């Protein structure tokens, strides 16, 4: 949200509903106000002054909670007080912030769910490819969006907005076995990384991944861009009056660009995957750029191959830079993963294992992907953790470490089923390692 002192308005971006898929959430259709919208609220009265819905009837988790920038722009010879946002849905919006009038909405990334935004109605024109209520569909953007929470930045000197953007196709599929369970993820759909097919039209598979985009909000066109690699999540943006743009990346590089041209001026290896936006300040005439170094957010369950977090781990640090500063000290490299511990003997029935798999997917799999990432790979549980599994999951034994208890939504029998499913996964992984010896 952001406050406008000139108009005494508070602008609030809203997210999607649950379940994600409208066929489950609202079978009758409709816009589903006020999902994925920008609301202008009078903070003195709490009353709504105007609203603009970026994604009516949202099916794809295309939230409008991304950062909002306020400025004045000269559009068609007239100075307008505007609001700018690059939400998940892939369109860059410029709105008159006094009235909510749509001034422009153009694609800033690859988009296949809608052909365009109709200026007369202000609504996106959805395409058939966007409807996955009856069969799975490959759609751009993914639920991660074309821009996530990482801040974009506006430079009034260049007139450009700098966006940490991404092209990320995903296969969306309605859950045929959807069942509402209070207190856990009830999105009613699941998705996976998509294979590029003719369904995405003329989208170039080589363009998948993250990129830094310089966007002109007056002409509603890109000015320059840099591809950042195959992975989608990189750092937020800083731009300064010194005609520079600064962004950190998942590979640990802090990169300085010329703001007007996009020319790369400097690359600094930090040894940390960074998602935060840098900031700048001055002390005794010396300018500094500082950034919170560390990885997190939605992709925390997976450490990308070739990333700094995969190589060095996720040691949180505050890094500060100045002209003529020293070399950044790199963390020690992580040691190789050890072997999978031998799991307990599996005694559960096929019925219990099936129940455990379903419950794990719905209640646990949002974090525990059982791959190299920020959350524990539960195939690698020690004998001590296996012994304490019920107390950890039901009673929150490790709540101070961030693992909440699920005793309010899971029964002891259900937790035992989940544990059995994990023992089965661990046994399969253990047997696979033993077979290679």
Span 29-55, mean pLDDT? 97
275-301 pLDDT, tens per residue? 999 999 999 999 999 999 999 877 677
Q: Which of 256, 247, 272, 246 is nearest to 329 (CA)?
A: 272
User: For the segment 140-173, what is each residue's pLDDT rounded down to a tens digit?
Assistant: 999 999 999 999 999 999 999 999 999 999 989 8
Residue 208 reports pLDDT greater than 70: yes
The tokens 């950044």 sit on which residue? 328
Which of 43-52, 225-234, 347-356 is predicted least confidently?
Answer: 225-234
- Which pTM value belongs to this model? 0.91
> Average pLDDT of 180-191?
77
DSSP-assigned beta bridge partners for residue 138: 171
Minimum mean pLDDT range among 52-61, 220-229, 363-372: 363-372
pLDDT score of 154: 99
Across the chain, what does the average pLDDT equal? 93
The predicted pLDDT at position 205 comes to 64
User: Over 90: is that where the pLDDT of 114 sits?
Assistant: yes
Burial 87-126 (b: 16+ CB within 10 A, else e): bbbbbbbbbbbbebebbbbbbbbbbbbbeebeeeebbbee
Alpha helices in 10-102 (DSSP H): 22-25
**Residue 87 to residue 67: CA distance in whole angstroms:** 8
Q: Over pLDDT 90: what percentage of the chain?
A: 78
H-helix or E-strand spanning residue 75:
strand 68-75
| pLDDT given at position 229 | 83
Q: Where are the alpha helices (DSSP H) in 206-286?
A: none
Q: Which pLDDT band, with edges at 50, 70 and 90, does 197 fall under?
A: very low
Domains observed in the chain: 1-127+137-150+169-200 (no CATH), 350-436 (1.10.760.10)
pLDDT at 138 over 50: yes
31 is known as an active-site residue: no
pLDDT at 198: 42
Tokens at 10, concatenated: 């508070």
Q: From the candidates 4, 6, 31, 61, give the one annotated as an active-site residue.
A: 61
Q: How do residues 55-107 score in pLDDT, each as one tens digit?
A: 999 999 999 999 999 999 999 999 999 999 999 999 999 999 999 999 999 99
pLDDT tens for 412-426 read 999 999 999 999 999
Distance CA 269, CA 252 (A): 6
pLDDT of 202: 56
Instruction: Return the higher-pLDDT residue of 367 and 40.
Output: 40
Please check the confidence at residue 248 and state whether its pLDDT lies above 90: yes
Residue 405 has pLDDT above 60, yes or no: yes
| pLDDT confidence of residue 201 | 53
pLDDT at residue number 196: 40
Residue 424's pLDDT is 97
Of residues 205 and 376, the one with the higher pLDDT is 376
Whether residue 193 is predicted with pLDDT greater than 80 in this model: the reply is no
Average pLDDT score over residue span 207-211:
90
Q: In the chain, how long is the greatest CA-to-CA distance?
A: 76
- Which segments of 307-405 are extended strands (E)? 317-321
Structure tokens at 436: 């290679």
- Is there a contact between 148 and 66 (Cβ–Cβ < 8 Å)? yes
**Is residue 361 within 8 Å of residue 354, measured between CB atoms?**
no
| Mean of pLDDT values over 222-250 | 96
Amino acid 186: pLDDT:
80
């Amino acid at each position: 949200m952001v406050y406008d002192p000139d108009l005494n308005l508070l602008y609030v971006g809203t997210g999607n509903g649950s379940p994600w898929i409208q066929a489950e959430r609202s079978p009758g259709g409709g816009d589903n106000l006020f999902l994925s919208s920008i609301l202008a609220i009078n903070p003195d009265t709490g009353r709504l002054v105007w609203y603009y819905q970026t994604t009516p009837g949202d099916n794809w988790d295309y939230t409008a909670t991304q950062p909002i920038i306020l400025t004045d722009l000269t559009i068609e010879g007239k100075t307008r007080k505007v609001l700018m946002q690059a939400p998940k849905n892939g369109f860059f919006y410029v709105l008159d912030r006094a009235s909510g009038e749509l001034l422009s909405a153009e694609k800033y990334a690859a988009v296949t769910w809608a052909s365009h935004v109709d200026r007369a109605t202000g609504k996106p024109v959805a395409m058939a490819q966007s409807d996955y209520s009856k069969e799975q569909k490959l759609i751009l953007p993914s639920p991660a969006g074309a821009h996530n929470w990482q801040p974009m930045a506006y430079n009034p000197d260049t007139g450009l907005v700098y966006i940490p953007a991404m092209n990320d196709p995903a296969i969306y599929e309605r859950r045929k076995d959807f069942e509402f369970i209070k207190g856990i993820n009830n999105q009613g759909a699941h998705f996976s990384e998509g294979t590029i097919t003719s369904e995405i039209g003329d989208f170039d598979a080589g363009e998948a991944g993250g990129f830094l985009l310089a966007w002109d909000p007056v002409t509603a066109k890109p000015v320059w861009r840099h591809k950042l690699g195959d992975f989608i999540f990189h750092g937020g943006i800083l731009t300064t009056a010194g005609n520079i743009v600064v962004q950190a990346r998942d590979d640990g590089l802090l990169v300085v660009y010329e703001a007007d041209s996009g020319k790369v001026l400097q690359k600094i290896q930090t040894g940390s995957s960074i998602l935060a936006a840098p900031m700048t300040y001055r002390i005794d005439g010396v300018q500094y750029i500082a950034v919170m170094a560390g990885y997190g957010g939605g992709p925390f369950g997976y450490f990308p191959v070739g990333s700094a977090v995969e190589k060095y781990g996720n040691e949180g640090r505050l890094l500060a830079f100045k002209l003529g500063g020293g070399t950044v000290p790199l963390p020690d490299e992580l040691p190789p993963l050890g072997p999978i511990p031998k799991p307990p003997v599996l005694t559960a029935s096929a019925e219990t294992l099936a129940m455990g798999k379903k419950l794990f997917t719905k209640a646990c799999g949002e974090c525990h992907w059982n791959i190299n990432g920020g959350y524990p790979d539960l195939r690698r549980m020690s004998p001590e953790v296996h012994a304490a599994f019920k107390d950890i999951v039901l009673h929150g034994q490790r709540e101070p470490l961030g693992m909440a208890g699920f005793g309010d939504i899971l029964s002891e029998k259900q937790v035992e089923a989940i544990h059995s499913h994990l023992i089965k996964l661990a046994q399969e992984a253990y047997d696979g390692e033993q077979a290679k010896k």
